[in-house]
């Protein structure tokens, strides 16, 4: 994850500090608190993303 973890788009509906970051072709959904980062999901952006996948 990048050093500036807060750089991703916020998504508090998933977790308090959840963020979404696109690094082509992947979409990273992660949460961070202090020095700890938790990857919630990595999605291949080339696939059809449906409502069943977590979103904001």
What one-character-per-residue DSSP string does 9-20 give? EE-TTTSTT-EE
Cis peptide before 40 (omega within 30 of 0): no
Total domains in the fold of the chain: 1
Question: What is the per-residue pLDDT across 1-56, written as a single tens digit (0 to 9) for each?
Answer: 556 667 788 888 888 888 988 889 998 989 888 788 889 889 888 877 666 655 55
Helix H or strand E segment including 30: strand 26-33
Contact call for residues 29 and 54 (beta carbons, < 8 A): yes
Question: Within a domain: residue 54?
Answer: no
C-alpha span between 11 and 35 (Å, rounded):
19
Residues comprising the chain, all counted: 56
pLDDT of residue 1: 53
C-alpha span between 18 and 33 (Å, rounded):
9
Question: Within a domain: residue 50?
Answer: no
Whole-model pTM: value is: 0.70
Question: Within a domain: residue 51?
Answer: no
Question: Within a domain: residue 10?
Answer: yes
Question: Within a domain: residue 19?
Answer: yes
Question: Within a domain: residue 37?
Answer: yes
Question: Within a domain: residue 49?
Answer: no
């Amino acid at each position: 994850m990048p050093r500036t973890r807060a750089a991703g788009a916020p998504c508090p509906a998933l977790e308090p500090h959840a963020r979404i970051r696109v690094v082509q072709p992947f979409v990273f959904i992660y949460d961070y608190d202090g020095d700890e980062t938790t990857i919630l999901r990595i999605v291949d952006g080339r696939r059809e993303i449906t409502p069943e996948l977590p979103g904001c």
